[in-house]
Chains A and B, each alone.
Chain A
Amino acid sequence: MVAPLKVEWVPIESLHPSKWNPNVLPLRKYNHLKRELVRVGFARPIITNLAGDIINGEHRWRGAREMGFAEVPVIKLDVDEITAKTLSVNLNSIHGEMDHDKLALLVSGLEITFPKDQLMEILDYTDQEMTKLLDSTERDKGALPRLPGGPKPQPPMAAEDPDGGEGEGEWCECPKCGHKFQEKAG
């Protein structure tokens, strides 16, 4: 059982990636993460052991470093290496899933507050993803009025993703020419 948690702000260079972190983040999500750091800052502290090995938050740390943060918030846990490793896995793997309908409802509500372009930027949706999400709300619930300037209805995709959209390939950006593409999954 860990001691009561405390957040400290420490120089970013005093922390470092662990040797064992198995978590990888697709480039598209990493870029989104960096924009979030600029938009809202850290909403969740990084978690490390006492030595400063990052247990959770390596990508936030990398992003913050790239965005020029001098200090980052950290919770330092007094744990042995095995516990640190198990936490690295479990803090990533224990999570829920988005309920599609609830997400669509939430996002369509946010469309009233935020201009569509800004909302797409904040949530990192492409035009097509946004349209697909919001159209499904209207189709399923039939209750939400279309907002002026809202997305136009589109015919359903010919072939639905068998993985329900979660198993799409990783988004990559070529470091040479900047071309963005989606890797084939698996």
Chain B
Amino acid sequence: MDKPRLEIVYVDPADLRPNGWNPNRMTDAMLNRLRAEIWRVGYVDPIIALRDGRIIDGEHRWKIALDRKEKVPVVYLDIPEEIAKTLTVNLDAIHGDHDPALLMELIESIGFTEPEVESVFGMKPRDLEDLRRAVEPVGQETQAPKGHTCPRCNHQW
């Protein structure tokens, strides 16, 4: 299979449509965060779609664009439908998580006020407090990096 070259075009959301197989769903709260983020910075991550307009990844961004009646950046992929289906799954499934300590460090480095943290990151003061508690050393624990110990050979890294 030829590897995609990825070219971005701005299209009318009416030219795109859901694919009929998307297993991804978003809570209303998350959808509101996405809407706020698009209002704040715009579309920074293109929607991925098949040439015929079926969306492989980015259905929720597309819904918001429909509401806002504005063009969206799209990358069209020339791939068979069955490959597109596997991509829909994998693009959703392969993502990481935030390391609490690194996230806390990032938030502190920006110096946002609590209302700013809530409006930009969707974190309420309580969430921030939970994060702070998760990061603070407990008892005699120090800031030692979170390591792994192999249960088979006891190697640590």
Contacts and interface: CB of A to CB of B under 8 A. Distances in A.
A122 B109 CA distance: 39
A94 B1 CA distance: 31
A181 B150 contact: yes
Q: Chain B at the A interface: mostly helix, strand, loop or mixed?
A: mixed
Interface string A57-69: 0010000000000
B73 A43 contact: no
A125 to B, nearest CB: 10
A33 B87 CA distance: 11
Interface string B11-27: 00000000001111111
Q: Chain A at the B interface: mostly helix, strand, loop or mixed?
A: mixed
A15 interface: no
B6 A42 contact: yes
Contact of B98 (A23, A75, A106): A23
Q: How large is the interface on A (under 10, 10 to 19, 20 to 34, 35 or more residues)?
A: 35 or more
A45 B103 CA distance: 23
A75 B121 contact: no
Interface in B75-126: 75, 77, 79, 82-83, 85-99, 102-103, 105-106, 109-110, 120-122
A162 interface: no
Name, among A44, A45, A102, A179, the residue most crowded by chain B CB atoms within 10 Å (CB to CB): A44
Interface of A: 1-2, 4-7, 9, 20-26, 29, 32-33, 36, 39-45, 47, 56, 59, 73, 75, 77, 79, 82-83, 85-99, 102-103, 105-107, 109-110, 113-114, 119, 122-124, 172, 174-177, 179, 181, 183
